[in-house]
Amino acid sequence: MTRIGKLFESLKRDSRKGLIAYLTAGDPSPDRTPALVEAMVRGGADLIELGVPFSDPIADGPVIQRAGYRALQAGTTLACVVEIARQIRAASEVPLLLFTYLNPVLRYGLERLAADAQAAGIDGCLLTDASVEEAHEYTGAMHRHGLDTVFLAAPTSTPRRLKLVAEYSTGFVYLVSRTGVTGERDSLSNAVAPLVSDMRAATDLPLAVGFGISRPEHVAELGKLVEAVVVGSAFVRLIEQNADNPSLEIQLESFTRELKRGFGAQA
Amino acid sequence: MGKRRIVAETGAGQHGVATATVCALLGFECVVYMGEEDMRRQRLNVFRMRLLGARVEPVSAGSRTLKDAISEAMRDWVTHVADTHYLLGSALGAHPYPMMVRDFHKCIGEEARRQILEGEGRLPDTVFACVGGGSNAIGIFHAFVPDEAVELVGIEAGGRGNEIGEHAARFRGGAPGVLQGAFSYLLQDTHGQVSLTHSVSAGLDYAMIGPEHALLHDKHRAEYVAASDTEALDAARLLSRVEGIIPALESSHAVAEAIKRAPAAKDKIFVINLSGRGDKDIDIYRENLKELDQE
């Protein structure tokens, strides 16, 4: 079992909810990412999604698009992100999920990435733009190297698609809270509750909800429905606005803590 | 489908104008995404879309051309999917789009095949078509694919040079990859990041070729070559003068390849797909053929 599986076991045992924090690796530069991750972990992040920058991020809104652009300008490649993970792993046992578009992975090589990711201490992978129907080769490579494969399910996913997501996912299933791309929103969509119950009917895996979640009150509300909540763009925006601010790490740590407080007694 | 809102992308503006026309006729809301660079160089079509009641949304990401317009249209579509349909203009994107777009364009080849048989009593030796995403090309090729004696030639944008970033010739510098839901030949760097492209014609300026063209290429059923910006401009000028047809810059690439082959092709029948007319490109022709524009 990966660190991801163990995390969800321990959350269950302690009746706690998990906070999953996303950042784009290499933003503002590859050498700074490990310290930013450490700050999020100190603030209470339970799992880190390391975003791999891509030139054409169709699933992302403007905030993460800009972060990817900065990371690419700083020379970040998939190989760099694997190296960043290795540095994080040297100092921490936090579960690490690679969050990436398919093309850089194809170019790197599925089998080679699975081997290198495992050696670096990465626990799993999520491909934003690979359909589960075509994912057999990818899941095979990842599973052979002991990595989890997390798939996305959306409010528009058909029952047949949800079944496939359940079949090919390990670790947890990532539910997209609404139709659309990543980015902060003021309110939560009412599509989440029906999606959660449809997905529960298809799998016993833990569920996480992401996309559009940026505030402690969102975390509070979703914590009642699922095992973990993902926050991305709000962290990335904080990094964007404070890239040159010496207090960036302290701000990340306290924002993470604030979000975590949303779970209340369940944190 | 019950949807009342249409989004589309456009490069040269032809698909955007067609979409805006349909939406005006049927009373649908219409939003067309277009790269800022393409809006600048295809101003006439931007105006036509607006005249037809469409909203033209400038896209400032990346190379500010077709690829970025498709990404933005997809983001809009997935966000508003409950009431919005995405009318993708080229043989690109996730299945079933490349297949649907081919089927909507296959009348080109069916009519061309029928007409040449009526007019000449036999099939052509060669069929030429320019290939950006590849909708006009797959449209004319499709009916001829079973006619094995008919050569199919797709012409990509050779741009202004052979370096990455100077052209959009995917079979010259590309490798298999995934972009916007399709798996095909893609101009990309060694890390899998999509490369910038250049072509004088907005409709050919795209980093991936439609997946069915990759199949025809790998099966050696069609051949793909490139024509440079200069060759396309020269071809446009020649066709205008000798045939009285001012072609679109995109189609001029196909004309250029036919001109190259013509001296060795006596008694052969060529079919060239003139996929667009040149009105929209008059500003670019004027910029590039200055000697015709003197007082």
ipTM: 0.94
For chain A, 267 residues long, give each residue's pLDDT as a single digit of tens: 999 999 999 999 999 999 999 999 999 999 999 999 999 999 999 999 999 999 999 999 999 999 999 999 999 999 999 999 999 999 999 999 999 999 999 999 999 999 999 999 999 999 999 999 999 999 999 999 999 999 999 999 999 999 999 999 999 999 999 999 999 888 888 899 999 999 999 999 999 999 999 999 999 999 999 999 999 999 999 999 999 999 999 999 999 999 999 998 766
Sheet with B270-272, side-by-side order of all strands: B222-228, B151-159, B126-130, B270-272
Per DSSP, A45 falls in state: -
**Is A167 within a domain?**
no
- Inside any domain, residue A203: no
The CB-based long-range contact list for A242-249 (8 Å cut-off, 24+ gap) reads A243/A28, A248/A36, A248/A39, A249/A35, A249/A36, A249/A38, A249/A39
Q: Do A56 and B62 touch (CB under 8 A)?
A: yes
What is the domain extent for residue A137?
3-147+212-263
Residue A108 lies in a domain: yes
> Is there a contact between A107 and B74 if contact means CB atoms under 8 Å apart?
no
Whole-angstrom Cα distance, residue A171 to residue A55? 28
CATH, residue A68: 3.20.20.70
B79, B181, B193 ranked by CB distance to A180: nearest:
B79
pLDDT in tens, A47-103: 999 999 999 999 999 999 999 999 999 999 999 999 999 999 999 999 999 999 999
Q: B218-269, pLDDT tens digit by residue?
A: 999 999 999 999 999 999 999 999 999 999 999 999 999 999 999 999 999 9
Which chain A residue has the Cα nearest residue B73?
Answer: A58
Per the domain annotation, does A195 fall within a domain?
no
Nearest neighbour of A58 by CB, restricted to B75, B186, B193: B75
* DSSP bridge partners of B126: B151, B270
Taking 70 as the threshold, does the pLDDT of residue B126 lie above it? yes
Asked if A49 is an active-site residue, the reply is yes
Chain B contact set for A105 (CB, 8 A): 192
Give the span between the Cα atoms of A250 and A239, in whole angstroms.
11
Helices B43-51, B14-26: crossing angle, 10 deg rounding:
0
* Residue A30 within a domain: yes
B292 falls in which pLDDT band (50, 70, 90)?
confident
Determine the pLDDT at residue B9.
97
Tell me, yes or no, whether A170 lies in a domain.
no
How far A242 CA lies from chain B's nearest CA (Å)?
Answer: 23
In a domain, A166, yes or no: no
Q: How far apart are CA A66 and CA B249, in angstroms?
A: 33
Count of domains observed in chain A:
1
Cβ atoms of A224 and A188 closer than 8 Å: no
Cis peptide before A28 (omega within 30 of 0): yes
Confidence at residue A102, expressed as pLDDT on a 0 to 100 scale: 98
> Is A103 contained in some domain?
yes
Beta strands at B175-179 and B182-186: parallel, antiparallel or unpaired: antiparallel
